Amino acid sequence: MPSVLMLYTGGTIGMQPSSQGYVPCAGVGERLVAHLALGDPYRLPVFDVIEMQPLIDSAELMPEAWNRLAAQLENHWPRYDAFVVLQGTDTMEYSASALSFMLGALDKPVIFTGSQIPLGEPRSDALNSVVSALQLAAHPDTPREVSLAFHDRLLRGNRARKVRTQGLDAFDSPNFPWLAELGIGIRFPQPSALLIGKPNFAPIEVDDEAVAVLPLHPGMSLRRAKVLLADKTLKGLVLYTYGVGNPLSFEGELLDCLKAVNERGVALLNVTQCAQGEVVQGAYATGAALNQAGVIASSDITLEAAIAKLTVLIGRGLDGCELRKVLKSAVRGECDSMR
């Protein structure tokens, strides 16, 4: 039976109530073992649990936590056959995306999971998540990539989105088929096409000033947008646009600013606000102007994966043409090929 290492980072799955609301709580390993005392009939793989320090609500998570995860994976990679990361759901898809870009090709599965209701509470989905993740970890058909197991599905980590605040089926990947469907049995509709190989565990240089998002909306302030675009610490920007990638132009003024920012060497990514479908930069005149401004059309990447991709690539020291070249391609299946 394969052996699995579980890294517990915090999140609802192991939280307990306090006078301030749910807070992360140590001892999840023992509590899981107690809940899985009937584990033998489940035929689960053997697993160890490491509690990361500090245990956090994932809303507090910053990119240095991705480095700590990568370091733990590196330390334990030779000893285990698969890895499960227990994390809060609020930023789980950011972590799964970031780790997919950091590690690159994998020869073992890394599966993120968590829950909407804490372990031990009535109707908790925690045990289902853990049992599913463990079964998937032990399954020979589980793709060797960073994935996210939740409710009845296994998703590519860098395609996943938290789509429900209340529903137990909290995650989906609107632009990519599920990697596996968990019904009575586990079904893998198609094999993963991603490259298998030895992971790159190198940490990223964390620079919290480097990446920003500019969300466009009716009534937005051009003045405020200009303040952000003039910030010299900026290295990568996600332009969060309408529909197939259309911006407001402010009669050309915003586009002129973007052009100047691009010439300064800032990487500009066009990501759609739509939940489904890709950017077609140039379908409309408003969007076509972005081509001249040097903005990269990001196909159907999610906002979360775009932020993680920029953060990891910049954190690995990429800039200029090299950074743009990598941004124009899918690194770990995070988007369809770009137009």
Tell me whether residue 166 or residue 190 sits nearer to ligand ASP (CB atom).
166
Burial class for 61, CB neighbours closer than 10 Å (0-12, 13-18, 19+): buried
| Helix (H) or strand (E) segment spanning residue 16 | strand 16-18
- Estimate to the nearest angstrom the gap between the alpha carbon of 274 and the chain centroid: 18
Q: d(Cα 12, Cα 93) in Å, to the nearest integer?
A: 15
Binding to ligand ASP, residues 132-161 (CB under 6 A): none
Q: Pick from 12, 72, 97, 100: which binds ligand ASP (CB under 6 A)? A: 12
Calculate the alpha carbon distances from 44 to 39, 80, 157 in Å.
6, 15, 23
Interface with ligand ASP (CB under 6 A), residue from 14, 104, 114, 199: 114
**Binding span for ligand ASP by CB under 6 A among 88-96, 132-140, 268-276, 323-331:** 88-96
- Closest approach, Cβ 93 to ligand ASP, in A, equals 11
Q: Does 288 bind ligand ASP (CB under 6 A)?
A: no
- Min dist CB 24 to ligand ASP, Å, is 7
Closest CB to ligand ASP among residues 11, 247: 11
- CA geometry: angle 49, 200, 84, nearest 5 deg: 25
Q: Residues 40 to 69: which contact ligand ASP by CB under 6 A?
A: 57-59
Minimum CB separation of residue 16 from ligand ASP in Å reads 13
Residue showing the smallest CB distance to ligand ASP in the complex: 88
Minimum distance from CB of 35 to ligand ASP (Å)?
18
| Residue with Cβ nearer ligand ASP (125 or 278) | 125
Quote the tokens at residue 270: 């066009």
What's the min distance (Å) between Cβ of 310 and ligand ASP? Answer: 22
Contact (CB, 8 A) for 296 and 258: no
State both tokens at 219: 């009534």
33 or 59: CB nearest ligand ASP: 59
In the bound state with ligand ASP, the residue whose beta carbon lies nearer, of 95 and 298, is 95
Write down how long the chain is. 339
Distance CA(80)–CA(173), nearest Å, equals 28
Pairing of β 82-86 and β 186-187: unpaired
**CB–CB of 69/95 below 8 Å?**
yes
Q: What are the residue numbers of the active site?
A: 12
Of positions 14, 45, 63, 88, contacts ligand ASP by CB under 6 A = 88
Q: How close are the terminal C-alpha atoms of the chain, in Å?
A: 45
Interacting residues with ligand ASP (CB under 6 A): 10-12, 57-59, 88-90, 114, 116
